C-alpha cells in the first residue's frame, strides 16, 4: 500500500482467485487490521532520509460504527507512506483475480492517493517506494480539481500501462470499497461499493497487448484494382471560348466625369465589376465509376506473438 497526502484510512484488504467452475474463490491474502497486524506488515523506510516519511496510526478514526473495527491511517499531511505484507505466490492463469480494499479520506484532500500494488517476490520491503516495480496498481487518486480518478495500471514486460478509460473516484469523507476484477477471458470490472463503474476488455482498454490480428504484410493491392468511386464524365466538354471569358469587365454604367481632363488626368478608363458570365476555372463533371470495386483492404492475419495477460504476485502493498 502506498499513500501520499493527508489523512487516509486503509480499513481492509482482500486478494482472491476463483476458478471458472468454482463458486467461492481461494483467498490468498486478507487483512482486517486486527491485533497482531504489525507482525504481518513491514513499514518502508522510503523518504525517511528526506524527512518526508509519515507515520501510520492504528485507529478506528473520528467517526465509526464500531470502535474495535480499526484500520491503518496516515497521520501527517504532505508526507509519503509505504507499507507491505507478504502473501503466497500465485498465478491467475485460467482464474478470476479479485483485488479489493476499503479506504476512507477523513479530511478533504488537496492532493493525495491511496493505491494498492501487487509486487514481485524479490522486493526489499524496507526499500519499497514509488519506483518499486509492480504488476498491478489500483486505487483512488485526488489532486486539485483536475485529478479525481481511480488508477488501474497493469504491467507487462516492465512497462506500466494506464487504463484508457476515465473512472471517477469518490471524494467525500465516507468509507468506500474499491474492487478490481480480472477474468480469464481478459475482461475486467471496476466496482466502487459493489457498484460496477467500468467494465470491458483488457485488450481494448489498455495498450498492454499487441492486436490479435494485423494487416497481412504480404498482401498487395492488385495493379488493376479500380478504387476510384467517381471518374470524369467523358461526355462533358469544355465550351469553346470558355478560357477567354474575363473575370472582370468594365462597368457599363460608369460615366467619364465632366471635369476629366485627358491631358492632365490621362486617358479615362471605366472601373471594372465582376463579370456575371465568368464561372471560374472549368472543371469536368464527374460521374459514378461503373468499374468501381470499392476501397481495397488488406487482409488480416493472426499476430504471431499474441498471448494473454496473466498477473503473478508475491506481496500485497
Q: Where are the domains of the chain?
A: 2-211+307-316
CA distances from 239 to 72, 178, 243, 244, 284 (A): 88, 74, 9, 11, 11
Split at pLDDT 50, 70, 90, the class of 15 is low
Neighbours of 311 (CB within 10 A): 18
- Measured at the CA of 252, the angle between CA 251 and CA 258, to 5 degrees, comes to 90
pTM: 0.65
pLDDT at residue 134 is higher than 70: yes
Q: Given the C-alpha cell 499476430, which residue does it identify?
A: 303
CA distances from 280 to 44, 249, 259, 307 (A): 77, 14, 38, 59
What is 2-211+307-316's CATH number?
2.60.120.200
Report how far Cα 94 is from the mean position of its chain's Cα atoms: 26
Q: What is the pLDDT of residues 180-238, one digit of tens each?
A: 999 999 899 999 999 999 999 998 999 887 666 777 777 888 888 999 999 999 999 99
The mean pLDDT value of the chain amounts to 83
247-273 mean pLDDT: 87
Split at pLDDT 50, 70, 90, the class of 11 is low
* Distance between CA atoms of residues 34 and 16, nearest Å: 19
Show the cell assigned to 134: 509492480
Amino acid at each position: 500500500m502506498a499513500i501520499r497526502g493527508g489523512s487516509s484510512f486503509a480499513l481492509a484488504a482482500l486478494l482472491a482467485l476463483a476458478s471458472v467452475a468454482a463458486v467461492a474463490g481461494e483467498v490468498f491474502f486478507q487483512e482486517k487490521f486486527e491485533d497482531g497486524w504489525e507482525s504481518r506488515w513491514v513499514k518502508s523506510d522510503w523518504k525517511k532520509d528526506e524527512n518526508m516519511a509519515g507515520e501510520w496510526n492504528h485507529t478506528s478514526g473520528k467517526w465509526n460504527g464500531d470502535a474495535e473495527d480499526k484500520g491503518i491511517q496516515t497521520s501527517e499531511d504532505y508526507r509519503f507512506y509505504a507499507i507491505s505484507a507478504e502473501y503466497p505466490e500465485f498465478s491467475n492463469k485460467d482464474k478470476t483475480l479479485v483485488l479489493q480494499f476499503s479506504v476512507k479520506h477523513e479530511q478533504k484532500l488537496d492532493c493525495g492517493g491511496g493505491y494498492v500494488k501487487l509486487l514481485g517476490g524479490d522486493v526489499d520491503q524496507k526499500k519499497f517506494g514509488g519506483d518499486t516495480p509492480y504488476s498491478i496498481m489500483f486505487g483512488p487518486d485526488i489532486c486539485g480539481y483536475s485529478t479525481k480518478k481511480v488508477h488501474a495500471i497493469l504491467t507487462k514486460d516492465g512497462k506500466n500501462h494506464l487504463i484508457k478509460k476515465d473512472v471517477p473516484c469518490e471524494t467525500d469523507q465516507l468509507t468506500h470499497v474499491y474492487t478490481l476484477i480480472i477474468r480469464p477471458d481478459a475482461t475486467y470490472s471496476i466496482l466502487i461499493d459493489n457498484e460496477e463503474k467500468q467494465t470491458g476488455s483488457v485488450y481494448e482498454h489498455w495498450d498492454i497487448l499487441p492486436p490479435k490480428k494485423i494487416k497481412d504484410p504480404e498482401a498487395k493491392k492488385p495493379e488493376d484494382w479500380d478504387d476510384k468511386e467517381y471518374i470524369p464524365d467523358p461526355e462533358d466538354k469544355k465550351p469553346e471560348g470558355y478560357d477567354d471569358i474575363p473575370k472582370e469587365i468594365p462597368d457599363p454604367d460608369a460615366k467619364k466625369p465632366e471635369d476629366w481632363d485627358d491631358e492632365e488626368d490621362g486617358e479615362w478608363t471605366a472601373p471594372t465589376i465582376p463579370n456575371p458570365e465568368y464561372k471560374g476555372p472549368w472543371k469536368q463533371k464527374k460521374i459514378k465509376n461503373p468499374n468501381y470495386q470499392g476501397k481495397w483492404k488488406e487482409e488480416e492475419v493472426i499476430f504471431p506473438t499474441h498471448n494473454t495477460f496473466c498477473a503473478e504476485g508475491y506481496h500485497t502493498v
